[in-house]
C-alpha cells in the first residue's frame, strides 16, 4: 500500500509531473490553480508537490480556533484564506492583496473551494492614498521593495492599516509581505490581536531588522512559540493571564 505523502507516493508524482501538469492540485484539502496564466513553472511545481506556503499553513492549521477572526496580508493565490474560511466561516476571514493580477486567481481558488471570505485589492500601510508596488516575475516575490532588476513598478490603492484593524477586529494576523513586515509591525496597533503568523525576510531586512521586529512584538506582550518555528516563518501569541495579574516581563519572568 502506498502511503499518501510518503516516498513512494512522491516518486509516482514526480513521474506523473513529467508527463502532465494538471490545472489544479489539492493542498491540505484545498484546490489550488497550477496551470493558469500568471503561475510560473516553479510555483506550479511547489503547488503540485504540496510545498506552496506549507510552513504557514502548517502553523495556521495547528493554531486556528473557531472564535478567531483572521486578517491575512499578502493573500497570494487565496490558499490560506480559503483554508481558514472552510474552518471558521467566510465572515471571519479577510484577505488583503496589493497585486491586482492575483485577483482572478484568488477568485478562482475561492470559487473552486466553495468559499467566499472578504477579499480586498489594496495595500495596508500608514494612511490612505496611492503607493508604489513592485511586481516581480514570480508573484510571491512582489513587494513594496524592488527585489529584482525586472520588477515592474505599479500604482496601487493604499488603505490605512490601523483603520482596518479597528474595523475588522482580527484576533489572528497572517503576514507574508516580502520584507514589508518591518514597516507593518512598526505601525500596527495590535491591541486586539492575540496570534500572529509572520514570514520574515532576513535577506531584505537583515538580522538587525528581523531582531527589531521581534523586539517590538515582545514589548507588546507577545511570546514566540518555539514549537512552531518553520525556517523563517514564526508564530507569536499573547499569554492569557488572570484578571489583574501583571504582564510577564523580563523583570518578573520565572527563573
Cα 80–Cα 32–Cα 91 angle in degrees, nearest 5: 40
Distance, CA of 145 to CA of 158 (rounded, Å): 15
Quickly state the pLDDT bin for 243 (edges 50, 70, 90): very low
Query: CB–CB of 49/43 below 8 Å?
Result: no
Match 508524482 to its residue by C-alpha cell.
13
Decide if pLDDT at 47 tops 50.
yes
Given pLDDT bands bounded at 50, 70 and 90, which one contains residue 12? Answer: low
pLDDT of residue 13: 64
CB 30 within 8 A of CB 84: no
| Maximum average pLDDT range among 40-54, 141-155, 183-197, 233-247 | 183-197
Q: With bands split at pLDDT 50, 70 and 90, how would you rate the model's confidence at 26?
A: very high
* Cβ-contact 234, 246 below 8 angstroms: no
CA dist 107 → 119, 145, 149 (Å) = 9, 26, 30
Q: What is the DSSP letter of 128?
A: S
Neighbours of 38 (CB within 10 A): 14
Residue 87 CB: number of other CB atoms within 10 A? Answer: 17
pLDDT at 113: 98
> Percentage of residues in the chain with pLDDT exceeding 90?
72
Q: Each residue of 184-211: pLDDT tens digit?
A: 999 999 999 999 999 999 988 999 999 9
Q: Please give the pLDDT value at position 14.
A: 63
Instruction: Supply the pTM of this predicted model.
Output: 0.88
134-184 pLDDT tens trace: 988 888 778 887 777 788 999 999 999 999 999 999 999 999 998 889 999
pLDDT at 5: 61
Q: How confident is the model at residue 15 (pLDDT cuts 50, 70, 90)?
A: low
Q: What percent of the chain has pLDDT over 70?
A: 86
Q: What are the grid coordinates assigned to 199, written together?
A: 514570514
pLDDT at 140: 77
Q: Which fold has domain 52-238?
A: Rossmann fold (3.40.50)
Helices (H) then strands (E): counts for the chain: 8, 12
Q: Looking at residues 5-16, what average pLDDT do you find?
A: 62
User: Strand 93-96 vs strand 70-73: parallel, antiparallel, or unpaired?
Assistant: parallel
CB atoms closer than 10 angstroms to residue 213: 20
Amino acid at each position: 500500500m502506498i502511503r499518501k505523502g510518503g516516498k513512494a507516493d512522491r516518486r509516482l508524482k514526480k513521474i506523473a509531473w513529467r508527463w502532465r501538469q494538471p490545472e489544479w492540485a489539492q493542498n491540505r484539502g484545498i484546490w489550488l490553480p497550477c496551470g493558469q496564466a500568471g503561475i510560473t513553472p516553479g510555483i506550479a511545481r511547489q503547488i503540485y508537490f504540496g510545498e506552496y506556503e506549507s510552513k504557514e499553513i502548517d502553523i495556521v492549521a495547528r493554531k486556528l480556533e473557531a472564535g478567531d477572526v483572521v486578517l491575512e496580508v499578502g493573500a497570494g493565490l487565496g490558499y490560506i484564506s480559503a483554508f481558514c474560511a472552510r474552518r471558521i466561516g467566510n465572515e471571519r476571514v479577510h484577505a488583503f492583496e496589493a497585486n491586482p493580477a492575483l485577483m482572478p486567481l484568488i477568485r478562482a481558488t475561492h470559487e473552486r473551494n466553495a468559499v467566499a471570505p472578504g477579499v480586498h485589492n489594496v495595500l495596508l500601510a500608514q494612511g490612505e492614498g496611492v503607493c508604489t508596488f513592485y511586481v516581480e516575475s514570480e508573484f510571491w516575490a512582489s513587494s513594496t521593495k524592488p527585489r529584482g532588476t525586472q520588477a515592474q513598478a505599479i500604482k496601487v490603492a493604499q488603505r490605512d492599516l490601523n483603520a482596518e484593524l479597528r474595523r475588522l477586529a482580527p484576533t489572528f494576523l497572517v503576514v507574508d509581505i516580502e520584507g514589508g513586515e518591518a514597516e507593518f509591525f512598526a505601525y500596527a496597533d495590535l491591541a486586539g490581536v492575540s496570534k500572529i503568523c509572520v514570514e520574515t525576510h532576513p535577506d531584505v531586512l537583515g538580522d538587525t531588522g528581523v531582531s527589531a521586529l521581534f523586539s517590538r512584538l515582545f514589548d507588546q506582550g507577545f511570546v514566540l512559540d518555539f514549537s512552531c518555528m518553520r525556517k523563517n516563518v514564526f508564530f507569536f501569541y499573547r499569554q492569557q493571564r488572570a484578571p489583574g495579574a501583571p504582564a510577564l516581563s523580563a523583570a518578573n519572568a520565572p527563573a
